[in-house]
Amino acid sequence: MTFTVLTTALEALDRVTIAAVDSGQLNEPTPCTDWTVAQVLFHAAGDQHAWASVVGSGNMPAYDPFNPPHELDEGVAVTVTKAIQAATASWAGVDPAAASVHTPLPPVPVMEPELAAAACALDAAVHAWDVAVATGQPSPLTAELAEQLMPAARATADPLRGFAYAAALPSQPGEDAAEALLRYLGRDPHWS
């Protein structure tokens, strides 16, 4: 895939899900206050399917990603794997030199390809962080990745606040880029 930031974010989502989430942790709370670990993962998978269907030839998820189920017959690992595969295949067909691509974000329906890929990556990376902190894993959200994601956050978060993002939290002195990104998206970087 041409979009390195998206590859990195999808690998983070894969890493925190496939080998690291124990089935006994699927009902644990997450920084997404109304959702369990399983629901965050189903939401993240659904969002990747939505992006894939808009930028490529994938299919929309069979459920509402903003009302994610607690369980699906195929399970979390298979659902996330299929979503990552769909996203990877769809984004492989996107020309980075194109003037714009469509997005599944109603307030921001078109973006230039690099920024759109970063917006898609933002979703995967932040939900990977949600799952990691909820299940006691190391954070996959590095300062370097957060720096790459911040332009997409600035382009998409404000029109989606109250729906997909909470109000931004005040920045704190000495925080790194990952902490700043999480606060901008309304998440407490020290959630536990």
- What is the distance between the alpha carbons of residues 57 and 44, in angstroms, rounded to a whole number? 18
User: What pLDDT sits at residue 1?
Assistant: 64
Is residue 118 assigned to a domain?
Answer: yes
- Count: domains in the chain: 1
CATH of the domain at 64: 1.20.120
Position 168 in a domain: no
CA angle 78, 74, 60 (to 5 degrees): 75
- Say if 80 falls within a structural domain: yes
Q: Return the bridge partners of 102, or none.
A: 110
Per residue in 21-44, pLDDT tens?
A: 888 899 999 999 899 999 999 999
User: Considering the domain boundaries, does residue 67 fall inside one?
Assistant: yes
Is residue 132 situated within a structural domain?
yes
Q: Per residue of the chain (192 residues), what is the pLDDT tens digit?
A: 689 999 999 999 999 997 678 888 999 999 998 999 999 999 999 999 999 999 998 899 999 999 999 999 898 999 999 999 999 999 999 999 999 999 999 899 999 999 999 999 999 999 999 999 999 999 999 999 999 999 999 999 999 998 888 999 999 999 999 999 999 999 999 998
Beta bridge partners of 111: 101
- Token pair recorded at residue 33: 């206050």
Residue of 142, 99, 98, 100 whose CA lies nearest to 121: 142
Quick check: is 150 in a domain? Answer: no
Asked if 159 and 131 touch (Cβ cutoff 8 Å), the reply is no
36 is a domain residue: yes
Number of helices (H) and strands (E) in the chain: give both, helices first: 6, 2
Q: What is the pLDDT of residue 44?
A: 97
d(CA 57, CA 36): 30
What's the pLDDT score for residue 119? 98
CB 33 within 8 A of CB 114: no
Unique residue bearing structure tokens 């644990």: 28
The pTM of this model reads 0.95
Q: What is the pLDDT of residue 162?
A: 83
- In terms of residue numbers, what domain contains 106? 4-140
The residue among 77, 16, 80 whose CA lies nearest residue 47 is 80
The answer as to whether 153 is a domain residue is: no
